[in-house]
Amino acid sequence: MSVTGGTVLEALVVAGHDGAAELLVQVRYDNGVVGNTVLSADVGFELMQTAGVESLSELVGRSWLDVIKGVVNV
């Protein structure tokens, strides 16, 4: 079985607690659990850049492990 770290199901802009727009990424992990991750603007943009996408819709279907490789040391 390949380890993908999960698959991105959805990527949306949401209202953050402090009034900033944040990035909500919904991931189905390898064990089947679906969970949400919320990223700040800085991290969100960095993630989009390192993942090589120009719009959020391009994140959908991507490997979560692959997407976050450029942002965190995995």
Partner 1 sequence: MFDVLIRGGTVVDGTGAPGVIADIALKDGTIAAMGPNLTGPARTVIDASGRVVAPGFIDPHTHFDVQLLWDGAAKPALEHGITCVVPGNCSLSLAPLKVADRKALVGMFQQIEELPPEAFTEAFEWTWEDYAGYRTALEKDLSINVAPLVRHSVIRLWVMGEASQQRAATAEEIAAMQTLLRQCLDDGAIGLSTSFIDVDENGRPVPSRFAQFEELDALCAILSHYGRMLQVVPEFYDTDLTIARIDQLAELSIRHQIPTTFSPVFDSHLTPHNVARTMARVEEQFARGARVWAQMQTRPIDISFSLRRPSLFFARLPRWVRVLRLPFAERLAALKTPETIDKLVADTDANGGIIAAMMAELRVRGGGEAPAHLVGRTLGEIAAERGESIALALIKVSVEHDLDVAFIAASRGHEDTDRIGPMLAHPLMHIGASDGGAHINSFATYGDTGYLFSEFVRKSGALSLEAAVKKITADPAQIWGLKDRGTLREGFAGDVVVFDAATIGRGVERPSFDMPGEGMRYIRDAIGIEAVLVNGQIAWTKSGYTDARAGQICAMA
Residue 5 CA to residue 35 CA, distance in Å, equals 12
Q: For binding to partner 1 (CB under 8 A), which residues are involved?
A: 12-24, 35-38, 41, 44-45, 48, 54-57
Beta carbon nearer to partner 1, 2 or 54 = 54
Residue 46 CB, nearest approach to partner 1 (Å): 10
Specify the residue, 1 or 30, whose C-beta has the smaller distance to partner 1: 30
Q: With residue 21 as reference, give the H or E element that holds it.
A: strand 21-28
15: which 2 tokens?
Answer: 């209202």
In the complex, the smallest distance separating the C-beta of residue 67 from partner 1, rounded to whole angstroms, is 14
Q: Where are the alpha helices (DSSP H) in 1-63?
A: 41-51
